[in-house]
Amino acid sequence: MITKQDEEKIIEGIANANLNSLNINGLLEAAKFYSITLAKNSVSEMSEDKKQEVYDKMIESEAAQKQASESAAENPEEGPQVAEESLEAEPAS
């Protein structure tokens, strides 16, 4: 009979084998999945005011990026002129 401790050892072994078999794309997918999970947790803990604040910053950032892309298309020799603004998430608890 397999004990709980034996099952944990099996899980650890399979997890290590999976990790060892990942290439860079697999690592990026795993990081993306983890980042999405952290973001969902952050959003679930945010107040409505904080959600609105983050949303407004995202809209402003998207507009600035669009404007920079259009400007770069019109004047390719000048290059992009956008100052990146960070959308910092609140730390997950």
pLDDT tens, per residue, the chain with 93 residues: 999 999 999 999 999 998 888 888 888 998 999 999 999 999 999 999 999 999 999 999 999 999 998 888 887 676 555 555 555 555 554
Q: What integer pLDDT is reported at residue 63 of this predicted model?
A: 94
CB count in 10 Å sphere of residue 67: 13
Q: What is the pLDDT of residue 88?
A: 57
User: Does residue 38 contact residue 89 with C-beta atoms inside 8 Å?
Assistant: yes
What is the per-residue pLDDT for 73?
82
